[in-house]
Every structure is written in C-alpha cells, then in structure tokens.
Amino acid sequence: MKNFSSKGIRFSGDSIKSCVGFIDLVDSTKNTITMEGLDYIRRYYSIFINSVSNLVKSSNGRVVKNIGDCLLFYFPKTSNEKNEHSFREVIECVLKILDTRYSLNDELSKQYLPPFNFRISIDYGIVDLALVGDYSQIDLFGSTLNLCSKINSSSSLSIPNEIIIGDNFYRILKSFSSIVRDFNFCNNGEYKITETTGYPTYNIKRKSYSSSSPLITTNANDTRNAQHDKQSSSSIFENLDTNYYINSKEKDLFSHKKNNNNKKIILVDDEQDILFTYRAFLKDYNYEVTSFTDPSIALNYIRDHGNFNDLLLVILDIRMKNLNGFQLHQQIKSIDPTIKILFITALDILDELLSIVPGLSKEQIIRKPVDRKIFTNTVKKLIN
C-alpha cells in the first residue's frame, strides 16, 4: 500500500456511483498488544492487507487505502447499475475473502499468530473523487462512505465473518433475478440516522441447493426477509396522505396521473394546505404527482421506488419536523444523484443555501409565498 505524501489533497469535482466496502480486522489491537517484537506485528498486518488486496484486485475492485486495521475498497465497474456481472462479482469477491480466512488462519497458527476475524460492510451510492499525495492516487469521500463505515463499526449491526450490506446495495441486487435465486438476504436491523429515521441493512449468504431439488430452497431467513419487505412496503403506503382523497371535489387534484414519459413529482411539506396548493398548480400538467406530510415516509417511498431511470423531481420545504429539508436532500442524493430537487422556503437564506448545498443553483430555490406562474415555469424547466 502506498502512503500519501505531504502534497495534500485536491478534489477533482468528479463523482461516480459505485459499490464501496470496508473490511475491518476484528480485535487486532488486542491481538497485537501481546505479540513480542515488531516483526510479528508487521507480519500479521502484511498477511491481512496483502491477501485481501489481492482478492479484491482479482475481482476488478480497487483498494483505496488502509485505515489502521481496516481496508477501504470500491468496484468501478458497478457504476453501470444494469451490469449484473459486476454486482455478482462483488458478492463473489467478499465470499471468497471469507472462505480464504480458513486457510489464512491455518498459516497464522503455524507462525504462532492469532486468527483473523473480519467485519465486512458494503453499500452502493454516489462517491466523490479526490487526488491525494502527489495527485497520482485516488481517494473517496461522501455520505455513502460515511454510512458504510458507520455500519461497519456498529457493534449491533456488524457481525464478525458475515457480509452486511446497506439498503441501496440491496435494492439493486434484488432487481437481478439470478442473484435473488442464488443468494439469501436477511433483515439485519437498521442504522439510526436520526431518532425517527433508520437505514435498513441486510445479511447476505449463498443459498444451499439439495441434489434432489435444484430449485430455490426456502429457510427461515427467506421468510423473515419476505415478511419484512411486505411490512415495509405496506407501512409506506398505509402512511401516505390518504386523507386528501376524502373530498370528492379534490379527487382530481390528488389522483396519480400516468404518462409515458415517467415524469414524476414528489411533494414534501408538513402543512397539508400547502401541498393542496402545489397540486392545484400542477393539475393541468401531465405529471404523476405524489405528496407527503412526513419527510421520513417520503424518503422510504423514494428508496422503494426501484427505478433510477425514471425522471424524478422532489419539491420540498426546509423547515419540517423529524427530518429537515437539508437532511432529506442529502439522503435523496445518496440514493440517486440524478434526482432533481426544488427547495421552497420562507427563509431569506439564498446565499447560505447556495454555499452549503453542493451543486445547487438559484433556479432550484423558490421563496414563499409561491407565485403560481413562477412555480410551474420552474418545475417545467427542471423536469424537462
């Protein structure tokens, strides 16, 4: 592994979608503190770093750096979400790492070194690229990495010698029928982003096939996961703002309009009368409009949307309970950076917004009270 020189860091301004992962060596500090001499410690870490790095590279992955006793890696070919082979390669890579652990531990035992136990977390999303050292080495940054790292370090979520994946990665994997056929996904609990917002994680294992039945075998994990998916999906739609449909005069304002262009708009504001107004502004346009008063439910809806190729515009307020507009914006962009955002606010904070929200332009901010013509023209520009 190369060390970064003192020339610093330079953000390239580029970002990509990719699978990222962390492999942490469990209890390495406790193991090395009892070793006699630096030679044993160096040998211990060298075997870990070199063996894992070689397996990642052989699967078209790239090891970015080691952070103490943890390796950060990513798979550039997964930038194409339709490339099933690349996503399968990621799974096979980490399974191979776990399988190789047994032979590595045999070798460590012969050298009077303690065995390896790994914590492995993988997720998918947008990552920012930077050049470090002499600007010939790549480093990665962004919320996707931060979340994956926190899952890895969570004692309640990260199980030694298991593969734990985040919800963004899970949603892509389950879109491939052959991957669903070959692997089990079990609900592993949620990482708490805020007190009211959780990020689901899953455990992934290869399915076992009996010689008498080449078809998929179902176990308790499959059943639990299917129940979780059903409950998660139903809870989202049960909590949609169905009270809007009660008044028959308002029915045409709040019904979903289907169209061939998949121009979808999501409205998020914790005041129902404001949502009513926005939908009234949009009722003469051929958009499919969905509205939420709870930003957490809106976020879950976007996570479960499943089709990143659909054109989406999210119109949201800034000051909301549980999850404010800035937090919601960050979470949406980690799911899919191509989703467009329009902020609507009563606050006079245009300059502050432009400085703290990456990539935001003046055209993506409207001041309250909202003028109908300005609102509809801005929506048309953003969504077209």
Backbone angles phi, psi at 127, to 5 degrees: -130, 140
Percent of the chain with pLDDT over 90: 30
pLDDT digits (tens, 9 = 90+) for 212-250: 333 333 344 444 444 444 343 333 333 333 333 323 333
The closest of 27, 101, 120 to 35, measured between CA atoms, is 27
Give me the numbers of helices (H) and strands (E) for the chain, helices first please.
13, 13
Domain positions in the chain are 9-236, 244-383
The closest of 40, 50, 274, 23 to 149, measured between CA atoms, is 23
Residue 63, CA distances (Å) to 76, 137, 157, 305 in order: 11, 11, 23, 31
Calculate the CA dihedral of residues 258, 301, 293, 267 and round it to 10 degrees. -40
pLDDT band at residue 311 under the 50/70/90 scheme: low
Does pLDDT of 320 surpass 70? yes
Does pLDDT of 179 surpass 60? yes
Q: Contact 127/20 with Cβ under 8 angstroms?
A: yes
pLDDT digits (tens, 9 = 90+) for 125-156: 888 877 665 544 677 888 888 889 999 999 88
- Domain 244-383: which CATH class? alpha beta
Q: What is the pLDDT of residue 260?
A: 40
Domains 9-236 and 244-383 share a fold: no
The topology under which CATH files domain 9-236 is: Alpha-Beta Plaits (3.30.70)
| Burial (0-12, 13-18, 19+ Cβ within 10 Å), 234 | exposed
Backbone angles phi, psi at 24, to 5 degrees: -110, 140
The closest of 268, 271, 265 to 328, measured between CA atoms, is 268
Q: pTM of the predicted model, to two decimals? A: 0.57
Does pLDDT of 5 surpass 50? no
What letter does residue 141 receive in the DSSP assignment? E
Q: Contact 361/333 with Cβ under 8 angstroms?
A: no
Compare 231 and 28 and report the one with higher pLDDT.
28
Residue 181, CA distances (Å) to 184, 220, 268, 377 in order: 8, 16, 37, 46
pLDDT band at residue 29 under the 50/70/90 scheme: confident
